[in-house]
Amino acid sequence: MKKKTILITGVSSGLGNAFAKKAIEEGHKVIGTVRNQKSAQDFSNLNTQLAYPVLLDINNFDEIPKVVENILNTHGSIDVLINNAGYGHEGILEESPLQELIDQFNTNVFGVVAMIKAVLPSMRKNRNGHIINVTSMGGFITMPGISYYCGSKFALEGISESLGKEVKDFNIHVTTLAPGQFRTDWAGRSMKRSNRVINDYDEIMNPIREAREKKSGFQPGDPDKAAQAVMKIIQTQNPPTRLYLGDDALLFVNDKLNSMKNEISKWEELSRSTNFVEKGN
């Protein structure tokens, strides 16, 4: 197994922490972004030879190129970039302030793209690299009450897939990692929740919020097994463009695919009616 240098954003908790621990366990060098000195020390304590914390808030777009340059000067190269940092937003669209959508995209989309743009030149020069963007099953399926979150993950899915086609000739792979429900703080302290203010939405939103809060900490997905899956794909010669994680993700995605096929078929005649009909044909 080839040992790699892996840059992971958001290693203090959740999936990012699980990815980092598993990578270190397998002997890879891990550079992990954290947001404060305590988290930096905790990460360094995992393994003083393989765990290298760097202070970075990925919302600070101007700082990202400087941090990546320092990483490259210190460690020589980055073989794998795992864009894990992000958070969930819960709220009815009509109730949720626009600023919360901007904040969601700043972290879940623009910060990720800024990281990619900083790392990509060295990968392109080396003609080698693997970029893994952590999206969500919510990057393909949707549920009421998380429209801002789904919007950010849909955007990242599209950006990632297009990017993969741009860089494939440089031996750079791009994978979107789309987890279902995993036992992390995503639905707990890490989630931003908009205030409820419109009574008309009580019937749909109140049960959703209550159920999600109760399920936090009891989700079916195991972060350690997600980390094992990531370690497997970084050693694969032809990694997937998209990898769903969890039975729930596969169930919901397949249900949507079937629904889409049925709807496309139902409206196919109308869809095909919009082409120009050339005269004389």
Amino acid at position 191, single letter: M
CA distances to 53, 74, 177, 280 from 84, rounded to whole Å, are: 15, 22, 9, 57
The residue from 52, 148, 149, 244 that is catalytic is 149
Could you give the count of Cα atoms lying within 13 Å of 219 in the half-sphere of its Cβ? 23
Is 149 labeled as catalytic in the residue annotation?
yes
Question: CA–CA separation, 195 vs 209, rounded Å?
Answer: 11
φ and ψ of 166, to 5 deg: -75, -30
**Long-range contacts made by residues 98-102, C-beta under 8 angstroms, separation at least 24?**
100/148, 100/192, 100/194, 101/148, 101/151
Question: CA–CA separation, 189 vs 184, rounded Å?
Answer: 10
- Among all residues, which ones are annotated catalytic? 149
